Amino acid sequence: MSEVVVAGAYGGPEVLSVIEEAVPDPGPGQVRIAVRAAGVNPFDHKMYSGAFGTDPANLPMRLGAEAAGVVTAVGAHANGPAGPIAVGDEVIAYRAPGAYAAELVVPASSVVPKPAALSWEQAGGLMVTGVTAVHALEAIGLRKGESVLIHGAAGGVGLTAVQLAVARGATALATASPAKHDLLRGFGAIPVAYGPGLADRVRVVAPDGVDAAADLVGTDEAVDVSLELVADRARIATIAAFQRGARAGIKLLGGGPGADPGTEIRAAARLQLTEAAGTGRLRVLIAGSYPLREAAAAHRQIMTGHTTGKIVLVP
């Protein structure tokens, strides 16, 4: 039996609880993992908030999409993107539905080796933000020598996007509250305070203009300023403002209505991310960790929209 977090109804974090479920033996092409850490992401809350519907047939709903842990059993032909998987391997799993659990079974195709340099918490929080950031930069076609405006740069996806943009040789213009500007400078970004007058402040630090923009927060300000500063709407993408973005004709990315899921891009990014994180070229900042039974508290923190780095659950 394994402890798992479920949403027993649609609503806020108060609907979350921990139950026990039997864990099956892995079948062909599957592996079983003892979870050491599971990443918490805004999309997890949206799943049971009612934002994507309230079909009672989907309840109780297991949550989570990424985890890191130790392989405890393998089925036949258990080969991942990096090769055969064996019992005892330390791994990262993404996509891993129901990852808020002490133990889970996932397709071997979802499993990549965990870099030894990462803590369990860092490994558990690497993938969703990482593949989302890669998808965003690919979607806007960011190239060396260009400038990109990254809204919500101090969040989990934002911090990764900043690092990846700088690694590409681009100039990262990073919006965040002033308290987080030193952190962003440390990653090579040019920080800009959000709020009234944002467009003018960006013009001051980027007098040659802005080539592309990635909205990672979904606010009206992020969309409006991106439209004002970036001439080509095909080079603006959002992972959150789906209704505004659709009306404005910018790119919608991720799991929202009408969005491009970027399945192939995100799958291909996994080994790139583990290599970069394992060699120290990509840092994973952990904002906080919670026991599995405190998933509701973890969700309340991430719902504030002001978390610096990733939140993880630890069974």
Q: Give the model's pLDDT for residue 97.
A: 96
Task: Tell me the pLDDT band of 306, cut-offs 50, 70 and 90.
Answer: confident
Q: Establish whether the linkage from the previous residue to 60 is cis, with ω within 30° of 0.
A: yes
Across the strands, what pairs with 106? 31
Q: Are strands 147-151 and 171-176 parallel, antiparallel or unpaired?
A: parallel
Residue 173 token pair = 């213009």
The gap between the terminal CA atoms of the chain, to the nearest Å, is 13
Mean pLDDT of 114-124: 98
| Main-chain phi, psi angles of 32, to 5 degrees | -110, 140
Task: Tell me the pLDDT band of 29, cut-offs 50, 70 and 90.
Answer: very high
Residue 82 token pair = 């990096």
Across the strands, what pairs with 73? 32
Mean pLDDT of 70-74: 98
Q: Give the model's pLDDT for residue 305.
A: 80
Beta carbons of 102 and 71 less than 8 angstroms apart? no
pLDDT single digits (tens) 127-151: 999 999 999 999 999 999 999 999 9
Domains in the chain and their CATH numbers? 2-126+284-314 (3.90.180.10), 129-252 (3.90.180.10)
User: Residue 154: is its pLDDT beyond 90?
Assistant: yes
Long-range contacts of 285-288 (CB under 8 A, 24+ apart): 285/156, 285/159, 285/309, 285/310, 286/119, 286/121, 286/122, 286/125, 286/310, 286/311, 286/312, 287/156, 287/311, 288/312
Q: Where are the beta strands (DSSP E) in the chain?
A: 2-7, 16-21, 30-40, 61-62, 67-74, 79-80, 83-84, 90-93, 103-107, 111-113, 147-151, 171-176, 190-193, 212-215, 236-238, 251-252, 286-291, 310-314
Across the strands, what pairs with 39? 312
Across the strands, what pairs with 155? 309
Average pLDDT, the chain: 96
pLDDT single digits (tens) 267-305: 999 999 999 999 999 999 999 999 999 999 999 999 988
Task: Tell me the pLDDT band of 161, cut-offs 50, 70 and 90.
Answer: very high
